[in-house]
Structure 1
Amino acid sequence: MNPSCLQFSLTEEERKIFNETGYLIVENALSPEQIANLTAVSDRIYEQRVSEGHDSKTALFYANFIADHDSFLNLVDYEKIMPKVWDILGWNIYLYHAHMIMTPPSGKEKNDKTFGWHQDSGRVNVDMESHPRPRLSLKVAYFLSDISEPDRGNFWVVPGSHLNDNLDIPLNEQGQPEGAIPVRVKPGTAVFFDRRLWHAGSPNWSDITRKVLFYGYGYRWIRTKDDMTVQHLWDQSDPIRRQLLGATVNCNGYYSPTDEDVPLRAWLKEHQPVKA
C-alpha cells in the first residue's frame, strides 16, 4: 500500500454526510480507462452467461467475480477508495461479499409498484439485540453505466434510514416510502452505503443496460456472504491485500488478531498514527 493513498482519506465533511445520510457519493473514482476496461470484462462475462442460458431480458446477479480478472482484483484495495473504507470501519476488515449486477432494459411499461425495500445482511437484522442495529459492514458500488437519469434501474435509498430498524412501506404496494430517492450518478462514480440503509433496486425502464460492481467490506469475524473462492490469490498478493482477501494465521486470528493477521493495523500505525 503506497502512503500516497492517504490523500484520499475520508474528510470530516464526508464522514458527516455518511454518518447522517447512510451513504456517500464519490465522483470520478474510476478513470475513463478503468471504466472502459471494467466494462469490457463485465460485458464478456454477461455475454458468456447469456450463451449458457441466462435470460437476456432479466438482471444478472453474479457473485464471487473477483478472481475472474485482475481489473476486479485491483479494486479490492483501490487507493482512491480503501482509505475511506478503513476510516469508517477501522483496520480489522476484509472483503466478505462481492457481486456484479447487469440490468438490461426490462421492455416493460413503467409503473408505480413498490420496490423491494430492505436492509442488507438478512438474519443479522433479526438476531442482533440492539437499537439502532450495528453497522458491521458497508458496500462500495462502482457504476460503469450512466444512471444520472431516473428509470435506468437506479437503486433507491431513504437518506438517514440507516438508524431506523423499520421502514413504513405503502400498504397498497403502490409508490415508495416517504423520503425515498433514486441514486443518480455518472459512470466512474463510487457510492458507499451503510448496510443498514434502507434501499431497493428498481426496474430498468430505459434503453441502456445498468452495470455496477458491488464490493462489501466487513469485520473479519463476519462469515463470507458469497463463496469468495479467492484463496488461490493469496500467494500473489501483498500482505494488506491478503488480509482483505480473508487470509489469517488461524481461526482465532479473526477474533484476537496479531500483526501477522492484520498487516493493515501496523501499516496505519506507521503512516496514519493519529487514526490508527
Structure 2
Amino acid sequence: METTALPFRLTDDERRHFNEQGYLIVEDALNREQVARLTALTDTVHEKKLAAGFDPHTALFYPNFIPDAPEFADLVDYEKILPKVWGILGWNIYLYHAHLIVTPPSGKPRDNKTFGWHQDSGRVNQEMESHPRPRLSLKVAYFLSDTSEEGRGNFWIIPGSHLDDTLTLPENREGQPAGAIPVKVKPGTAVFFDRRLWHTASPNWSEITRKILFYGYGYRWIRTKDDMTVQDLWPHSDPIRKQLLGYGTNCNGFYSPTDDDVPLRVWLREHSPDEAR
C-alpha cells in the first residue's frame, strides 16, 4: 500500500450517504485501459465456459475468479477503492467473496414481473437477533459494460432499505417495490453497497452483454462464501494484500488480531492514525 491511496479515503459526505442510503457510486474508478483489459479477461473466462458447454443464453455467475489473472488480484487492494472500504468497515477485513457476472441479451420481450429482490448473506438474515440487522460486509461492483440506460440487465436497489429487515413485494408479483431504482452507470464505475441493502439483478432486454466484477469485503471472522482458492497468491503478495486474501497467523488471530495478522492496521497507524483505532 502506497501513500498515494490516502487522497481516496472516505469523505464525510460519502460516509453520510453510505450510512443513510446504503450505497455509494464512484465514477471513473477504472480508466479506459483498465476497463479494456478487465473486459478482455472477463471475455476469456466466459469463452472458456462456453467452450465447456455453458449455455450462451444464460447469465454466468463465476465465483473465485481472483486467481485467474493478476489484474483481478490487483483490484483486491486497489488504491482508489480500498481506502473507502476500510473507511466503512475498519481494518480487520478481508475479501470473503468475489464473483464475476456476464449477462448476455435475453432475447425476450420486456415484461413487468417482479425481480428477485434480496439481502445478501443467506442464513445470517434469519439467525442474527438484532434490528436492524448488522452490516457485517459490503460489496464493490466494478461495471465493465455500459448500463447507463435502463433495460441493460441493470443492478436495481432501494435506497435506504438497508435499515429494513423486511420488504413488501407488489401483489401478484407485478412491478417493483416502492422506492426501487435502476443503477445507471457507465463503464469504469464502482458501486459500493451494504450487504443489507435490498437489491436485485434484472433481465437484459438490450443487445449489450452486461459484465460486472463483484468484490465482497467483510470482517476476518466471517467465513468465506465461496471456495476462495487464493492461498497460492500469498507468497507473491505484499502484507496488506495477503491479509485481504485471508491470511492469518492462527485461528484466534481472526478474532483477536495481532499486528502480524492485520498489517493494514500497522500501516494506518503510521499514515492515518485516526483510522487505526
The separation in 1 between residues aligned to 2:270 and 2:160, in whole angstroms, is 35
| Correspondence 1:43 to 2:38 | no
The separation in 1 between residues aligned to 2:241 and 2:51, in whole angstroms, is 33
| Correspondence 1:93 to 2:86 | no
Give the number of equivalent residue pairs.
Answer: 276
The separation in 2 between residues aligned to 1:207 and 1:218, in whole angstroms, is 35
Where does structure 1 lack aligned partners over 5 or more consecutive residues? none
The residue that corresponds to 1:64 in the other structure is: 64
Q: Deviations over 1:73-122 (max 9, x none)?
A: 00000000000000000000000000000000000010000000000000
The separation in 2 between residues aligned to 1:102 and 1:228, in whole angstroms, is 19
Q: What is the deviation of 1:3?
A: 1.1
Look up the SS of the partner of 1:275 in the other structure. helix
Q: Deviations over 1:21-55 (max 9, x none)?
A: 10000000001000000000100110110110111
Q: Deviations over 1:146-203 (max 9, x none)?
A: 0000000001000000000001101201000000000000000000000000001100
The residue that corresponds to 1:272 in the other structure is: 272
The residue that corresponds to 1:119 in the other structure is: 119
Q: What is the deviation of 1:71?
A: 0.6
What TM-score do you get using the length of structure 2 for normalisation? 0.99
RMSD (CA atoms): 0.5
1:226-265, aligned counterparts within 5 Å?
Answer: 226-265=226-265
The residue that corresponds to 1:16 in the other structure is: 16
Q: What is the deviation of 1:275?
A: 2.2
Look up the SS of the partner of 1:243 in the other structure. helix
Amino acid at match of 1:24: L
The separation in 2 between residues aligned to 1:42 and 1:4, in whole angstroms, is 28
| Correspondence 1:132 to 2:128 | no
The residue that corresponds to 1:225 in the other structure is: 225
Look up the SS of the partner of 2:273 in the other structure. coil
Q: Deviations over 1:189-244 (max 9, x none)?
A: 00000000000110000001000000000000000001000001001100000000
| Correspondence 1:213 to 2:213 | yes
The separation in 2 between residues aligned to 1:256 and 1:48, in whole angstroms, is 42
The separation in 1 between residues aligned to 2:269 and 2:44, in whole angstroms, is 41
Look up the SS of the partner of 2:274 in the other structure. coil
| Correspondence 1:74 to 2:74 | yes
Look up the SS of the partner of 2:173 in the other structure. coil
The residue that corresponds to 1:154 in the other structure is: 154
Q: What is the deviation of 1:4?
A: 1.4
4+ runs of 1 displaced by more than 3 Å? none
Where does structure 2 lack aligned partners over 5 or more consecutive residues? none
The residue that corresponds to 2:30 in the other structure is: 30
Look up the SS of the partner of 2:172 in the other structure. coil
The residue that corresponds to 1:52 in the other structure is: 52
Amino acid at match of 1:266: V
| Correspondence 1:179 to 2:174 | no
